[in-house]
Amino acid sequence: MKRAAIVLVCLAGLGASVWALVTATEVSSPRSEQPAAIILRAPNGFTVEALGSASLRSAAAALAAKRGARTGVRFSDRGDEVLLLADRPSDRVVEMRAARNGTIVERFWTQGIDRRLAWAAEHGELSVPGLPRPTGKNLYH
């Protein structure tokens, strides 16, 4: 009888602990159909113009027309938020692309910045034959 009482008290204590743990922990909700909250911001020193919905071709043409040392354009491309930056002193183009799922990819194209932007305005791609291929990385938040 004493053993049964001890087991009953232990089970009650265990049940109370599990109940406290479950009620204190938020249960996650199902995935939302809305885009993940993404913060996409240009580094300090860049002047960025918002274009709204645009293609890479039109964004590259708009960026090529800007003559500042560090300029950029922000646009929406098929649900992705894109920041396209021209860093003329470093002679490179930077693309930061935030996908709907929250992944941010940053790619760099070095050398021939004006040639790259003119090529992209015509062909929709920043990789120009004869110039170095891009390098890139995922940015985690």
- The per-residue pLDDT for range 104-136, each reduced to its tens digit, is 899 999 999 999 999 999 999 999 999 999 998
- Work out the angle at residue 45's Cα, subtended by the Cα atoms of residues 43 and 46, and round it to the nearest 5 degrees: 70
If you average pLDDT over every residue of the chain, what do you get?
Answer: 83
**Percent of the chain at pLDDT exceeding 70:** 75
Of the ranges 3-17, 54-68, 127-141, the best mean pLDDT one: 54-68
Q: Quick one: average pLDDT of 44-72? A: 92
| CA separation for the pair 140, 30 (Å, rounded) | 22
Q: Which of 3-12, 23-32, 60-69, 78-87 has the lowest mean pLDDT?
A: 23-32
Q: Could you state, in order of their start, the residue ranges of all structural domains in the chain?
A: 47-139
**Percent of the chain at pLDDT exceeding 90:** 53
- State the pairing for strand pair 70-77/47-53: parallel
At 111 the pLDDT is 94
| CA separation for the pair 40, 83 (Å, rounded) | 8
Question: Where does the chain show beta strands of DSSP type E?
Answer: 47-53, 70-77, 80-87, 92-98, 104-110, 135-139
Confidence of residue 6 (pLDDT cuts 50, 70, 90): confident
With beta carbons less than 8 A apart as the criterion, state whether 119 and 113 touch: no
For the question of whether the overall pTM of this predicted structure is more than 0.75, the answer is no
